[in-house]
């Protein structure tokens, strides 16, 4: 296992860069993405670069698939579990307005309000825990989303 692989799975292509730490050689591959299962595209790119998972030490993965799905509003029905007090942040953010100070246009949130649930927890601006995550709240929220 001497290879480091960087792979970017996009909506159209999967790009791969392979660095062999032993030989200090670099190989690249570009293959069609496989939306039905992204792993197939990654495996195809590895094959195209002339390697297998057995030789890979590290994989660094990136993707634009999720970002594109959100921007194009082509996502499955999903729920959101968020910090108490932040349930409506998706609707309140400026990104939902066609114009920064405009009050007209479509304000439809990508996740319906009834599928956005809150749990008790809090971290500060430095990432320090102010209030521990209430795991009972999480379990209850998951059950509620599964029943929805």
pLDDT of 97 strictly over 70: no
Place of tokens 């729920």: 79
What is the pTM assigned to this prediction? 0.57
For the segment 39-63, the average pLDDT, to the nearest whole number, is 95
| Structural domains present in the chain | 3-68 (3.30.420.40), 76-147 (no CATH)
C-alpha to C-alpha distance for 101 and 109, rounded to whole angstroms: 18
pLDDT of 67 strictly over 70: yes
């Amino acid at each position: 296992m001497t290879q480091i692989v960087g792979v970017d799975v996009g909506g159209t292509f999967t790009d791969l860069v392979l660095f062999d730490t032993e030989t200090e050689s670099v190989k690249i591959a570009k293959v069609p993405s496989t939306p039905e299962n992204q792993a197939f595209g990654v495996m195809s790119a590895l094959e195209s670069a002339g390697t297998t998972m057995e030789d890979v030490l590290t994989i660094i993965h990136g993707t634009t698939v999720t970002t594109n799905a959100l921007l194009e509003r082509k996502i499955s029905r999903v729920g959101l579990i968020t910090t108490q007090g932040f349930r409506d942040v998706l609707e309140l953010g400026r990104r939902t307005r066609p114009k920064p100070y405009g009050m007209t246009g479509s304000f439809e949130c990508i996740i319906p309000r009834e599928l956005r649930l809150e749990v008790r927890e809090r971290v500060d601006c430095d990432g320090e825990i102010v209030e521990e995550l209430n795991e009972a709240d999480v379990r209850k929220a998951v059950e509620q989303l599964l029943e929805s």
